Amino acid sequence: MSTLVFHNGSILTERGFETDACVLVEDGHIVAVLHGPPPASGRHIDLHGGALVPGFIDVQVNGGGGVLFNNETSVEALAAIARAHRTFGTTGMLPTLISDDADVMRRAIAATHDAIAQGVPGILGIHLEGPYLASARKGTHNANKFRVPDADDIAMATALDNGVTVITLAPECVPTHGIAAMVERGAIVCTGHTAADYAQTRAGLEAGITGFTHLFNAMTPMQGREPGVVGAALDDANSWVGVIVDGVHVHPASLRVAIAAKPRGKVVLVTDAMPMVGSDDPGFDLYGETITAVDGVVRNAAGSLAGSALDMASAVRNTVHLLGLPLEEACRMAAQYPAEWIGLGHQLGRIAPGYRADLVLLDADVRVQRSWIAGLE
C-alpha cells in the first residue's frame, strides 16, 4: 500500500494552520498528522507553500456544469454537477431538487442512490428543497408543485437508504407529526421558503427541525415584537443555518450579526448554485422559463433571485473579504460545520487521523489548485 505524504504547505489541522506539519494518507484515509520533517518513504506531494484544507461540503447545489438536477435526474447528470463543483473545491455535495412533481422526486432519489452505489465522487445524498413550502415565500419555486405531504409522500421523500437526505419545508404547511415522521425515518429537516411566525417555527424545531435553508432569504424577517423565522433561527442554539455569501443574497452586516448570534459551528456556507457554475453558458431552463445570470446575479423574469452563480471557493473568499473572518474559520464553515450538520462529522470535514482524505489545495488568493477525494486526485 502506497502512502501519500502531503508536505511543504500550510495545513489546516485541529490547531489551525500549521507550516511544520505533514499529512499521511493510506487507502483513502488520513492515518497521521506529523510535525517536523516528512518521512522519507511514501509518495510525496509537495504543496509548494499552499494551504491544504478539508474538502468543501455544499449541502445545497441545484446544478453545475450546464446541468440542472430538476431537468436531468440521472447518474450522468449528478456526475457532471459534481465534476463542475470539484473545480472549486467541493469534494462532497447534496444535489438539490427544488419543488417538483412526485415522479420527478422519485427519479431524483433513484439517481442519487445509484450514483452513490456506483461510487460517483462527491455525491453524499440529496436535498429536497420543497415541495412542502409556503406560496407567500415561494421565490423562484413553482407554487403549483406545492403540497402537504401525506404518509406515502413522507415514505417516498425519505426512501434514500445509502446517503443523507435533507428536506426543506415550511413548518406552517406541514403538521408537526409529519415533521417528526420525516426525522424518525432519518431525514434532516430544515425550515425554508416559509411565512411562519416565531411560534410556528419553534413548534417545528420542537418536532425535529435542525436547520434553516439560506437564512434571511425566503423567510419572515426578525422584528421587535415578532421575531419571525429569522429570529427563531438566531435564538436557537442547537440548529444550523446555511448562508449564501455572495454579496447579493444577504447584506454582509446581516451575516455578521448571524455569525455573532449563533454558537460557533452553527453557520454553514452554501452556494445554492445553478447550472452556470463551471459552465460557459449563463442561462438555463427552469419550469419552462429561461433564466440568465447577469453580472453574476441569477434572477427569473419576475425579478426573484433564482439560486446563485456562486461556487464554494468564492464563498470562502467572500467570507474572509466581506465578513472579516479568518481563512481557517471560513474553511471550517465550508467543511467541518456542514459535515457535522448532515451527520458526517465523524468522517468528513477535518484533517485528522481516521478522516477520509478529502482535501483541497488553495493558493494565496484562495483559489483551488488541486483536490483529492478519498486520496484520489
How many Cα atoms are found within 13 Å in the side-chain-facing hemisphere of 186? 13
Q: Does residue 131 have a cis peptide bond before it, meaning omega lies within 30 degrees of 0? A: yes
The grid coordinates listed for 359 are 482535501
User: What's the helix, strand, coil split of the chain in %, to 5?
Assistant: 25, 30, 45
Whole-angstrom distance, CA of residue 307 vs CA of residue 272: 5
Whole-angstrom distance, CA of residue 198 vs CA of residue 216: 14
Whole-angstrom distance, CA of residue 146 vs CA of residue 173: 10
Q: Crossing angle for the helix pair 312-321 and 327-334, nearest 10 degrees? A: 140
Task: Output b/e per residue, 182-216; b: 16+ Cβ within 10 A.
Answer: bbeeebbbbbbbbbbbbebbbbbbebbbbbbbbbb
CB 120 within 8 A of CB 151: no
Residue in the structure block whose three cell numbers are 446563485: 308
Counting DSSP H helices and E strands in the chain, the numbers are 10, 22
Dihedral of the CA atoms 140, 82, 240, 152 (nearest 10)? 70
Which residue of the set 236, 272, 311, 358 is catalytic?
A: 272
Q: What angle do CA 314, 18, 121 make, to 5 degrees?
A: 50
**Catalytic residue check, 272:** yes
Residues with a catalytic annotation lie at 272
